[in-house]
Structure 1
């Protein structure tokens, strides 16, 4: 029988959000030649063998799937392996979609980082996930199964992480002591709990799984000049924070403002995708002010900035999303308290968003072009572009029928509609003014139709905003309040649509569509 060459590398792929005591002991045994591979053959390692920790999803963090950023994972591995006496190297591997070529991706990345290939002749793969292990077996590698089939069924790192999230303190005895110390030093346990318990965010780090980011970012960027012109006169220089910053379009304009040359500009967003794009733009030199910073955070889960430390907070087209994906007005009140707490005396919170009509329960006839007899379709099984094409092809009346199905199902809002007789080619939906405006605000966003149908635009009236802001301690500057966007009325709302009074048949004036509030924390 030919001698099996000594192993010089133990490739250990995984997300490695935690290192367990079992893993450290297993790797030590593997290097010492006390472990057999999945086929039952002993693994003999060379005296200079090293563990290659392939940290997968290294470009993905801040989500339930990947709560800990790669640089923290790498530093934790270095701390554990130094104490455990495990000669190791760390290879960050970019986040990629599931693929049968995953093993090839890891191996190619390792070769690029290490400067030499890992081959079946000199490498054993330590992997406890059978489906992943099979990918390396197909590449000719031997596999050491780690936890898979080990006596006592030792918990995997993700099991230990879930215990941590649940408040089960046994995670501290299952994790390697130096991993526990590292988590405590950087308060990663609290961070992981926040990420996992955020009720508004999907597993992959966003509010919704159906948003078209290219369209969303482009639309936000297109509006940034107009939005900055609206808020700029009210900005107090110093620490300026844009909550819901998207890809940084508003801060890009703020960074050009000479008044803010000495200011620190912070962008905060809950979406991993958008913060990643903002960071990419910063790396490309898009922002004129070098003191621009971005963070993925959810202010509802805890303070982001110290009390009385922020001069200006801006929220542009954000508050309706917080109400829609969270707990309605209760979450807006929590947001207001948090913003008030971090605002310096004399500082401001500038909020601009869509607005519900002042008399939301008024019954109106929504007159729409087209046939309202077209039955709605279940769009949930369609690809995004298919759903978008279908909705875009509907006439205003038929699109309202689709909306009347999708909007209450996804947003939780009540929709009551009575179809009344109308002339040929025209349909009349008798409904509340709130429902009519919800539809008219939503109907043109066909690219992300199901995502938009999650969102309620009309939860708050102008009076609601005044009561909320004054209730937490803010004072409203002159000029704060509702206003009507005439461009929106002429180019969107009235296209194929009109509002009539059911009793008189007369036209109902278009309500205010937006609110701008400049809420100032008193100096006293």
Structure 2
């Protein structure tokens, strides 16, 4: 007979050990299942316990802070004093799967090379969460562990995850906290202490930017996002390549690793080490797969899933080049101004003397508060039905693409930063058959023009601010952090965007006593080169 114990197993408790020890020693006959029914004499003595470690491919997130190998280490230590052998098998996260229990059983059979073919006749499941329903559908009997009453969801003691959350709030005192010491099994305690996992969990839980599963936003279509990143990777690399300094090279917000892949092909950087940092789990997984496929050529390419806002991601004074592209505006958008300032200071700390931070991103116009007239065409789509609520991403994208530029502005003005309670102010001056005239700040005009074509990820883009700082603002804040700004730094207008997305769709004018005066479109992007010099 086997005991199957599925779970993420981020932390193990004394209750779990005592519960398993008692069952193994005393047998199953006097145990009651999750429905209060005695198991009786249908099952023989326990020969082994099998830990199914779910979400094995996830780590460094609030939901799964520990990587699989550390979870296995603590399970091995935990099991040493159990009177039967224990086996650990990783079960990858596969999204919402109604037959996840069946998937788990099949994975264990596969990973064990057929040594364990678990059936309701030879296995009893240990589970205190609603996951038990899946196993019961397969006719497995389930031992409830901490669960006291299935209907009221009462527990005889706290669940392991409750203890994780407790440690997340306990601060530095968690190592000597009486509640922790009474409930946390020594195998977990020693591992968490050795690898400073309490501090890691606390960092992840106080992180306001990333979601529980390690993403900045949960509304982004990563398939289209990855395609976009790869499509423009070469352009970004060519713009930044002349300024890369050999040695330890980091790419923060590395997406799918395209910039690093191109850098690895440069003879000048052949002896360099590359360190990609990506907070979004989907993109980090792709980076790891690309490395496994040998796409980078250089064996000294390393990826980590970390958040560069909360703290340092590289050792102090260690990096010769740090690259960021289209990242800093996301910190301002999903976090706060203080988060962005912290991010800037962290990069200064990480650079070695003489090191360079290359930051390529969108930027606001030089005179963002100037009131301008924005003239938008009504001839390139529908001008009504712009307020329809659509939750499906693909349907919403198709719907938005059918709107005219003017109607899309109306939708934008309603949706932009709405969840953040930030209203976009504008005035409709006039509307004609073919166009409409709006008065608004140049900053808000450019926010719309730069985002209006991102219909694939509209819900995500509506959170993001592009024009919060001018180039002069960047110069001031970077200098405050200690950086020296290289003269090659500059703001510029992306000619392709102007030609393909602005021209024929929108015009800008200033109001003068003589009427409307045409305005050129302002700068849209910047290349910022910040060096850490000897003071």
Provide, for residues 358-385 of structure 1, a one-character-per-residue CA deviation record: whole Å limited to 9, x for no partner: 1001111111111896364254x51111
1:232-311 to 2 correspondence within 5 Å? 232-311=241-320
5+ residue gaps, structure 2: none
Structure-2 separation of matches of 1:223 and 1:410: 30
**Structure 1 pair 393–177 and aligned structure 2 pair: CA distance change class (3 A):** same
Provide, for residues 155-189 of structure 1, a one-character-per-residue CA deviation record: whole Å limited to 9, x for no partner: 11111111111216323321111111111111111
Q: Check whether the contact 1:375–1:402 (CA below 8 A) recurs between aligned residues.
A: no
| TM superposition shift of 1:49 | 0.9
Name 2:517's counterpart in structure 1.
Answer: 506
Q: In the comparison of the two structures, how many residue pairs are matched?
A: 514
SS at match of 2:403: coil
| TM superposition shift of 1:44 | 7.8
| TM superposition shift of 1:515 | 1.0
Name 2:141's counterpart in structure 1.
Answer: 142
1:168-247 to 2 correspondence within 5 Å? 169=177, 170-247=179-256
Q: Check whether the contact 2:383–2:404 (CA below 8 A) recurs between aligned residues.
A: no
Name 1:5's counterpart in structure 2.
Answer: none
Provide, for residues 217-251 of structure 1, a one-character-per-residue CA deviation record: whole Å limited to 9, x for no partner: 11111111111111111111000001110010100
SS at match of 1:505: strand
Structure-2 separation of matches of 1:492 and 1:229: 23
| TM superposition shift of 1:61 | 2.2
| TM superposition shift of 1:336 | 1.2
**Quick check: 1:377 aligned with 2:376?**
no
SS at match of 2:465: coil
1:55-454 to 2 correspondence within 5 Å? 55-114=53-112, 115=114, 116-129=116-129, 131-149=130-148, 153-167=156-170, 169=177, 170-328=179-337, 330-370=338-378, 374=384, 376-377=386-387, 379=389, 382-410=391-419, 412-454=421-463
Name 1:3's counterpart in structure 2.
Answer: none
SS at match of 2:372: strand
SS at match of 1:448: helix
Structure-1 separation of matches of 2:334 and 2:155: 42
5+ residue gaps, structure 1: 1-7
**Structure 1 pair 495–411 and aligned structure 2 pair: CA distance change class (3 A):** farther
| TM superposition shift of 1:63 | 2.2
Q: Check whether the contact 2:25–2:83 (CA below 8 A) recurs between aligned residues.
A: no
TM-score, structure 2 normalization: 0.92
Name 1:4's counterpart in structure 2.
Answer: none
| TM superposition shift of 1:502 | 2.8
Provide, for residues 443-486 of structure 1, a one-character-per-residue CA deviation record: whole Å limited to 9, x for no partner: 11000101011100001101001101111111111121211112
* Runs of 4+ residues deviating >3 angstroms: 42-48, 83-86, 371-376, 410-414
Q: Check whether the contact 1:415–1:435 (CA below 8 A) recurs between aligned residues.
A: yes
| TM superposition shift of 1:152 | 7.0
SS at match of 1:491: helix
| TM superposition shift of 1:34 | 5.0
Q: Check whether the contact 2:234–2:262 (CA below 8 A) recurs between aligned residues.
A: yes
Structure-2 separation of matches of 1:357 and 1:85: 70
TM-score, structure 1 normalization: 0.94
SS at match of 1:351: strand
**Structure 1 pair 75–44 and aligned structure 2 pair: CA distance change class (3 A):** farther
| TM superposition shift of 1:42 | 4.0
Q: Check whether the contact 2:63–2:213 (CA below 8 A) recurs between aligned residues.
A: yes
| TM superposition shift of 1:86 | 4.9
**Quick check: 1:477 aligned with 2:515?**
no
Match of 1:519 among 519, 525, 530: 530
Q: Check whether the contact 2:372–2:508 (CA below 8 A) recurs between aligned residues.
A: yes
